[in-house]
Structure 1
Amino acid sequence: MAQRHAVEVLLRPAVELYTVAICGAAAALCLIAPWSLALSPALAIGTALAFLIFGAVRWREARVILRYRRHIRRLPHYVMTSRDVPVSQQRLFIGRGFHWEPQHTHRLMQTYRPEFRRLVEPTRAYRTARRLEAQLEFAPAPLARLARATRWDSVLNPVRPLPPLGGLPRLHGIEPNEIDVTLPLGERVGQTLVLGTTRVGKTRLAELFITQDIRRKVNGEHEVVIVFDPKGDADLLKRMYVEAKRAGRDGEFYVFHLGWPDISARYNAVGRFGRISEVATRIAGQLSGEGNSAAFREFAWRFVNIIARALVELGQRPDYLLIQRHVINIDALFMEYAAQFFARTEPKAWEIIVQLEAKLNDKTIPRNMIGREKRVVAIEQYLSQVRVYDPVLDGLRSAVRYDRTYFDKIVASLLPLLEKLTTGKIAQLLAPNYSDLNDPRPIFDWMQIIRKRAVVYVGLDALSDAEVSAAVGNSMFSDLVSVAGHIYKFGIDDGLPGASTSQRIPINVHADEFNELMGDEFIPMVNKGGGAGIQVTAYTQTLSDIEARIGNRAKAGQVIGNFNNLLMLRVRETATAELLTRQLPKVDVYMTSLVSGATDSSDPHGNTAFTSNTQDRVTTSSVPLIEPAHVVSLPKGQCFALIEGGQLWKVRMPLPTPDPDEAMPKDLQELAARMRQHYVEAGEWWDSRALPGLQDQTLPADLIDDFRQMATGDAPTT
């Protein structure tokens, strides 16, 4: 029966159909030949109506069984255009699904029992059709058409193939009655973690969330959307632009892409700060702090802080190029700052310095100052004779006092990082020239983005250079943490007329492959960023990725512990699956067993030779709500969601379908086409050293011609 009993069994033949057939035949007999049942015409109509009502009830019960069996094998299509994505001011739409309860664990366990195998696994006709398609792949045309007929995706085809989603449809089919699964927007400040292996729908889930974030309006204002995409997904870029244009926000759409600097916006990661020491923290924080490297990182922090303070006093905005230039040659900055300082405080001091410089020679220069410019030595001698106190000048003075060789050694760990951030055209993006009015590429910073409620796509081109992408992404995260701290203290309109410290707006940060971008500064972002309105949605494959990036299991656990919402798609690592399953309770489920036995009689003269006994026993067993094996077997586009204080939901996301009006500007179309051409799966991108096909763009044409002539055996032309 379909109604509830102590032991629910929906996976069985629909025996109610027998009753439906009998009721239908009896009702027809009452109407056609009432005399055969000794009924008057009036009484026959009433009897037929009673049979039909009872048959309808049994048909309704049979439909529950048939629908359940159908969904166990094949789920109905679930597609949605981006225009149809529901956008709520109160909740975030995730997909369709159901709240997982103990009864679903009971139903799932039943599907693994041998007696129900024929109702769960594909039919023999289905398996035969798939084997036939494989055998007829290279057959002549008449037979090949037969294979196309079996592959016809229509309800009229009894052996049509399953959607290419893999996994076990039964994980979602055990509950045919789906509802919309949503997350209250108030829960998003608790941060959200999305885990899933390669090509199972993480980026498509990100598109679903980003679409809603771009189009959502709260109190008449849009929300800030910032997306970090290390690999470079063209479909994600297109989705963001289309949704921004659809929401009337295309004027607030920024694209920052390291792989295409000619059309990318520009960004100075150290140009804006609340305290000057933040510049040194953002740069030196990316250096290793383990073991002996910790001391070198502290030295690097100190010298960068000295340089940054001097640049600000000179009225210059710090950037990576300026800091690299002065780390390599700090003498020039020392002389420039001393000239300005003495011109402001002691105009006659410079004449004495020039006289001291004229008297210097190789014998009179102190040992620790050998290799320095004579003017630097002269300034140092003057300062040693005159009591002048200036914190910036004293810092520069202590730096130039070091032996030149020793100084180069203690900043040796800093120079490779600065080289990564200032090589080639990337320097134009990360150290923009603010005075160049002929450059059409916009310059942005996070405070400006937040005040404008803008949409930002950050493509880090990790396929070409993972080291540079990680360094840039880390700098952006560090800058964003600093801005969040400023907003938490002063609000987003600090310094503007009518500013209010109580104003908070949602700042939606989506970080794909976030383990490759994070550092120590990511922990305070997910831990304390909610107070400034930052809502982080992080996407990665496994827990091991986070631990390998941080290099410390305790810190990796600290990061994971700050995510209140967990969405887990299919994963391949058991430890990652256990992050979900270990947080779930055990439940009691009913188990049925058949017990049969026979006992011989010991009385040879008795009336019975033996007695038999058959029992159906119902017992309870304590089992986990779900097992790690179930997470490993999820189809593509499906996930388990642990949200709203530990409630477990089973969700499937809608498959995207294109809209005919989705168009992009010509330059973004070209960028998206190149990104599609060179896209590499997330599980392989770190093995790539450069994008295929980009070598020809970065080498001169004559060098390429010489290389091709050498490859063919011809002598290169001169």
Structure 2
Amino acid sequence: MAPSQTIEVLLRPAVELYTVAVCAAAALLCVAAPWSLALSPLLGLGSAVAFLAFGAIRLREAWTILRYRRNIRRLPRYVMTSREVPVSQQRLFVGRGFRWDQRHTHRLMQTYRPEFRRYVEPTAIYRVARRLEERLEFAPFPASSIRKALGWDSPLNPTRPLPPVGGMPRLHGIEPDEVDVTLPLGERVGHSLVLGTTRVGKTRLAELFITQDIRRRNPAGEFEVVIVFDPKGDADLLRRMYVEAERAGRSGEFYVFHLGWPDFSARYNAVGRFGRISEVATRIAGQLSGEGNSAAFREFAWRFVNIIARALVELGQRPDYLLIQRHVINIDALFMEYAQHYFATHEPKAWEMIVQIEGRLNDKNIPRNMIGREKRVVALEQYLSQVRTYDPVLDGLRSAVRYDRTYFDKIVASLLPLLEKLTTGKIAQLLAPDYADLNDPRPIFDWMQIIRKRAVVYVGLDALSDAEVASAVGNSMFADLVSVAGHIYKFGIDDGLPDTMPGVKVPINVHADEFNELMGDEFIPMVNKGGGAGMQVTAYTQTLSDIEARIGNRAKAGQVVGNFNNLFMLRVRETATAELLTRQLPRVEVYAASMMSGATDSSDPTGRTAFTSNTQDRVSSSSVPMIEPAHVVALPKGQCFALIEGGNLWKIRMPLPAPDPDEIMPKGLQDLAAAMRRNYVEADDWWQNADASEPREPTLPMGLDDEAQS
């Protein structure tokens, strides 16, 4: 095969093998009977070496053809245990593949030509074997043993079935020479977007990235922060994270927050930490609808929650969902408590006058708008109207209690259902933790603490059970992360701590699976400005329409997508999503050979020439897209196109996971993972045929259960 040919054709018979056979026979003849070729034994030996050298060259060329034809039908198996995943301080390992260029487009176009069909489609014996498997599915012995033999997954089986990954193997088989594909860690600050339909390998790719993030150390020996949002709750992902944290010696900094399993979950106050007090109202009111007439109600809810949060902070109390709900329902109690706190320090004698005013109140002299409220509240309001006391918190509470009670209940009607969802049952213990309860072994964390400890956090939001609560908590966490990122950007992660080095940034790896279910307006500044604080977001979702449907605005959806510099495109079912990749690629020239022949009769009846003929081989070129959306739709499971490092297109396949023999979890997390598997029913993993079933997780001795929960 001469590589300098104008048109490269690899789908053809390996004719080089004929030359190899001749060279082998000639070499044997030169050694065994040099006299038959009029050679001396020494010259015969030299000739044999020359023949073997030339045969080796032709054999290498023949092997290229044979390997190419094999890969077009079936790719070699690519399996890797988690221990074998390479972890680098400079690059992120993605898988094996090749950089796509014009040659690969040309080769792919050739596979669609009818003359090459026999090299691309399954062989006749393969098709017969699959039909026999179908017919013998319920056959009795010994016919059932024939079916097992036909489906034997071994290289020794000539009718070995293809792996259950679907798609077209030719998309990756057109380049036999694979290399390890990596992404420079410096590019991750530009954020990464992973698109792929259900059950095509997004979670496997996430496991690959998360494994490296958990085990990676910087040159100073420090780990990176890893935060994983998993709306649906994937037990295998939780298991993988714990195993890698244990293997890296980070199990003491491993936190599990799961709304569906509050007994095993760590606790988190979504509104307990803030840079500005107004952030509390933003995180809560941001979950309310802002479209149409709802915008006015959301603005009022924001103002009302902000008044309550300011009062709680002035009273020395940490805001949480339970306290805010309690005071939304009964603002009078907070008004009286704060007034007592304020007058105790500013006007100690004010209560004597307030008690006198309260004693003179009756049903006739209470203002209409204050009917239904306690007399002490009415007396406070009347006293404040008589004296010139300025306190912004007290004035805000006073303006709230002056609303008519019926009118007030109407305008906060949209806020109460949200607070009810977040404070019902055991979820209230997670989102409004009791910091004074020393008997509760479940840890309480906040994002600044997580970042300073370089911890690993798994956030399961149980979206399959209650999507609205999952979305509200997820949005609050995102908003809290944005606030923390802003603080880190300005002051660093060790602000206020002694003996710290200013300006040190820690990579914060945020993995958001099904992020369209969690995102809101809070997500846009995270991907837009969070990189300055070291935040590296990797988002996983199915289609672009999911993002647009969640935000409700095409321009904002484009704004979100435009902030992701790295794109990993697995198989998708929406053409518009596939075009996000294909429209960014150039067009390339592909070549095709055509043979033309013709004959022309002679017009001279007396001439000696009856006709003339000619035969021509022509090479034509045409401009085609580098890849089409149809190629993205036809990707096998576990494979993707990646647009990384400034628009370079790579074709990648991820390694199939092989079970590790020492994957042990504490009993508490074993029970949690087992319960998640029982309750979250999903399709079979596409990589199950990669190896034998996973080993049974051993039960640990007593005492480690408490360790898992602490």
Cα shift readout 1:49-90 (whole Å, capped 9, x = no counterpart): 221111111111111111111111111110000011000000
How far is the alpha carbon of 1:325 from its aligned partner? Answer: 0.8
- What residue is the counterpart of 2:487 in the other structure? 486
- What residue is the counterpart of 1:701 in the other structure? none
- What residue is the counterpart of 1:68 in the other structure? 68
Cα shift readout 1:554-606 (whole Å, capped 9, x = no counterpart): 11000000000000111010000000000001111212122222222222333
- Report matched runs for 1:464-475 at 5 Å: 464-475=465-476
- What residue is the counterpart of 2:459 in the other structure? 458
C-alpha separation in 2, matches of 1:473 and 1:44: 80
- What residue is the counterpart of 1:234 in the other structure? 235
C-alpha separation in 1, matches of 2:352 and 2:665: 63
C-alpha separation in 2, matches of 1:46 and 1:202: 58
Structure 2 counterpart of 1:212, one-letter code: Q
- What residue is the counterpart of 2:547 in the other structure? 546
- What residue is the counterpart of 2:303 in the other structure? 302
Cα shift readout 1:119-152 (whole Å, capped 9, x = no counterpart): 1111000000000111111112111111111111
Structure 1 counterpart of 2:454, one-letter code: R
C-alpha separation in 1, matches of 2:466 and 2:29: 81
Structure 2 counterpart of 1:108, one-letter code: L
C-alpha separation in 1, matches of 2:683 and 2:508: 26
- Report matched runs for 1:40-189 at 5 Å: 40-189=40-189
How many pairs align? 683
Does 1:444 find its partner at 2:424? no
Does 1:11 find its partner at 2:15? no
Give the conservation status (yes or no) of the 8 Å contact 1:198–1:682.
Answer: no
- What residue is the counterpart of 1:190 in the other structure? 190
C-alpha separation in 2, matches of 1:595 and 1:467: 67
- Report matched runs for 1:148-547 at 5 Å: 148-218=148-218, 219-547=220-548
- What residue is the counterpart of 1:29 in the other structure? 29
Structure 2 counterpart of 1:44, one-letter code: G
User: 4+ runs of 1 displaced by more than 3 Å?
Assistant: 680-683
Structure 1 counterpart of 2:53, one-letter code: I
Give the conservation status (yes or no) of the 8 Å contact 1:594–1:616.
Answer: yes
Cα shift readout 1:631-651 (whole Å, capped 9, x = no counterpart): 111111000010000000000
How far is the alpha carbon of 1:34 from its aligned partner? Answer: 2.3
Structure 1 counterpart of 2:483, one-letter code: S
How far is the alpha carbon of 1:677 from its aligned partner? Answer: 1.3
TM-score calculated relative to the size of structure 2: 0.95
Structure 2 counterpart of 1:160, one-letter code: R
Structure 2 counterpart of 1:464, one-letter code: S
SS in 2 for 1:222: coil
Does 1:564 find its partner at 2:572? no
C-alpha separation in 2, matches of 1:641 and 1:323: 46
- What residue is the counterpart of 1:639 in the other structure? 640
Give the conservation status (yes or no) of the 8 Å contact 1:150–1:159.
Answer: yes
Structure 1 counterpart of 2:306, one-letter code: N
Cα shift readout 1:187-222 (whole Å, capped 9, x = no counterpart): 000000000000001001100000000000012100
SS in 2 for 1:75: coil
Structure 1 counterpart of 2:240, one-letter code: R
How far is the alpha carbon of 1:280 from its aligned partner? Answer: 0.6
- What residue is the counterpart of 2:701 in the other structure? none
C-alpha separation in 1, matches of 2:222 and 2:552: 41
C-alpha separation in 2, matches of 1:491 and 1:680: 43
SS in 1 for 2:204: helix
- What residue is the counterpart of 1:689 in the other structure? none
Give the conservation status (yes or no) of the 8 Å contact 1:231–1:682.
Answer: no
Does 1:669 find its partner at 2:670? yes
Greater alpha carbon shift after TM alignment, 35-44 vs 370-379: 35-44
SS in 1 for 2:590: strand
Cα shift readout 1:492-529 (whole Å, capped 9, x = no counterpart): 11111134441110000000000000000100000000
C-alpha separation in 2, matches of 1:148 and 1:472: 50
Cα shift readout 1:18-62 (whole Å, capped 9, x = no counterpart): 111111111222222223222232322222222111111111111
Q: Percent identity?
A: 84
C-alpha separation in 2, matches of 1:138 and 1:599: 65
SS in 2 for 1:642: strand
Task: Output the aligned Cα RMSD.
Answer: 1.2
Give the conservation status (yes or no) of the 8 Å contact 1:195–1:571.
Answer: yes
C-alpha separation in 1, matches of 2:306 and 2:565: 36
Structure 1 counterpart of 2:243, one-letter code: V
SS in 1 for 2:142: helix
Structure 1 counterpart of 2:505, one-letter code: R
C-alpha separation in 2, matches of 1:561 and 1:681: 32
C-alpha separation in 2, matches of 1:2 and 1:283: 68
SS in 2 for 1:661: coil
Structure 1 alignment gaps of length 5 or more? 684-718
How far is the alpha carbon of 1:681 from its aligned partner? Answer: 4.1
How far is the alpha carbon of 1:291 from its aligned partner? Answer: 1.5
C-alpha separation in 2, matches of 1:33 and 1:663: 67
Give the conservation status (yes or no) of the 8 Å contact 1:489–1:501.
Answer: no
Cα shift readout 1:640-664 (whole Å, capped 9, x = no counterpart): 0100000000000000011111000
How far is the alpha carbon of 1:682 from its aligned partner? Answer: 9.4
Greater alpha carbon shift after TM alignment, 148-157 vs 433-442: 148-157
C-alpha separation in 1, matches of 2:612 and 2:435: 99
Structure 1 counterpart of 2:627, one-letter code: I
- What residue is the counterpart of 1:712 in the other structure? none
Give the conservation status (yes or no) of the 8 Å contact 1:192–1:567.
Answer: yes
Greater alpha carbon shift after TM alignment, 442-451 vs 611-620: 611-620
SS in 2 for 1:193: strand
C-alpha separation in 2, matches of 1:682 and 1:484: 37
Structure 2 counterpart of 1:342, one-letter code: F
Structure 2 counterpart of 1:261, one-letter code: P
Give the conservation status (yes or no) of the 8 Å contact 1:463–1:680.
Answer: no
